[in-house]
Amino acid sequence: MTASIGQVRDIGHVVVLLGAPGAGKGTQAQILSGRLGLAHVATGDLFRAAVRDGTPLGLVAKGYMDRGELVPDAVTIEMLLERLGAPDAAAGILLDGFPRNTAQAQVLDEALAGKGGRVDIAPYIQVPEQDLVGRLSGRWICRAQGHPYHEVANPPLTPGVCDVDGSELYQRTDDQPATVQARLRQQLGSLELVVGHYRDHGILRTVDGTQQIDQVSKDLLAAIADVTDSRG
Ligand code: ADP
Ligand code: ADP
């Protein structure tokens, strides 16, 4: 497949946030994108918006998401490259939920190289598998923008209402226990391979995701500053 990002002339820093479902990628991406001035690009959010809007892409994606499977690469990659062509991506991007397999990682490398860019750093938020089910089954996200909360670990100030934008909170259908098990079973193996891809490129940084949210953010910011300062 020829990977092409489209209109954007150059792309700033590219950070790929890695982690299992429930590791805290969305939580951290929300904090980090503001602090670093990077566009937060989450493929799960893009798919949920397409499902909500009933677009052809949403109709394709829904069955896979409901079964906890990855959406096929052809549609996922096309959607991602289109998003990376939007003007805000020129300032740099924080990817959350992409790549999820090595084919996606390779396409991303090629597409960035075509713009004179590269992935600068891939921080890996590591959380043991036994913690993930509790994280996902207690997760609530907001309707407007997908801001994540947890009923015990990170509750909203007002129950059922997003602190950031005031929209209603809901539980994702794929966060029900049966689908959670399927997602972990299907996706953890390919996550390992993606982690290996970035380790081989020397840009993987592992952060302990079992710490408090604030501490995870500090560790991620330190790891990112370390690499982006030295690479310019
Ligand atoms: P989580 O935050 O729990 O890791 P996401 O919101 O990122 O989940 O993704 C939800 C679902 O959307 C995934 O289970 C999968 O079906 C689909 N999805 C998201 N990103 C990708 C991707 N890069 N490749 C294929 N499918 C994806
Ligand atoms: P991901 O995007 O990787 O699937 P989320 O950011 O949506 O993960 O987080 C999954 C759940 O875990 C949410 O309910 C979130 O509030 C909670 N969570 C995130 N970070 C932490 C943390 N450091 N400690 C405890 N719970 C957390």
- State pLDDT tens for residues 96-136: 999 999 999 999 999 999 888 899 999 999 999 999 999 99
pLDDT at site 73: 97
The burial class, CB within 10 Å (0-12 / 13-18 / 19+), for 143 is middle
100 tagged catalytic: yes
Ligand in closest contact with the CA of 51: 1
Q: Is residue 216 part of a domain?
A: yes
Q: Is residue 7 part of a domain?
A: no
Query: Is 100 touching ligand 2 by the criterion CB < 6 Å?
Result: no
**Alpha-carbon span 103 to 228, nearest angstrom:** 25
35 tagged catalytic: no
Q: Is residue 5 part of a domain?
A: no
Q: Is residue 88 part of a domain?
A: yes
pLDDT along the chain (232 residues), means of 10: 68 94 97 95 96 95 94 96 92 96 97 91 97 96 94 96 97 92 93 98 97 98 84 60
pLDDT at site 113: 92
Taking the CA of residue 187 as reference, the ligand 1 atom at the shortest distance is: 14
Q: Is residue 40 part of a domain?
A: yes
Domain range for 55 is 13-128+203-231
Q: Is residue 4 part of a domain?
A: no
Ligand in closest contact with the CA of 22: 2
Taking the CA of residue 42 as reference, the ligand 2 atom at the shortest distance is: 2
Q: Which amino acid is at 3?
A: A
Q: Is residue 180 part of a domain?
A: no
Residue 50 Ramachandran class (φ > 0 left, ψ -120 to 50 alpha, else beta): alpha
Taking the CA of residue 139 as reference, the ligand 1 atom at the shortest distance is: 3
Q: Is residue 94 part of a domain?
A: yes
**Alpha-carbon span 2 to 70, nearest angstrom:** 21
Using the structure block, give the residue that is written with the tokens 């084919």: 103
Closest CA to 184 of 122, 134, 121, 142: 134
**Alpha-carbon span 77 to 109, nearest angstrom:** 12
| CATH code: domain of residue 224 | 3.40.50.300
Query: Is 216 touching ligand 1 by the criterion CB < 6 Å?
Result: no
Residue 8 CA to ligand 2 centre (angstroms): 32
Q: What's the domain count of the chain?
A: 1
144 DSSP assignment? T
**Alpha-carbon span 32 to 150, nearest angstrom:** 19
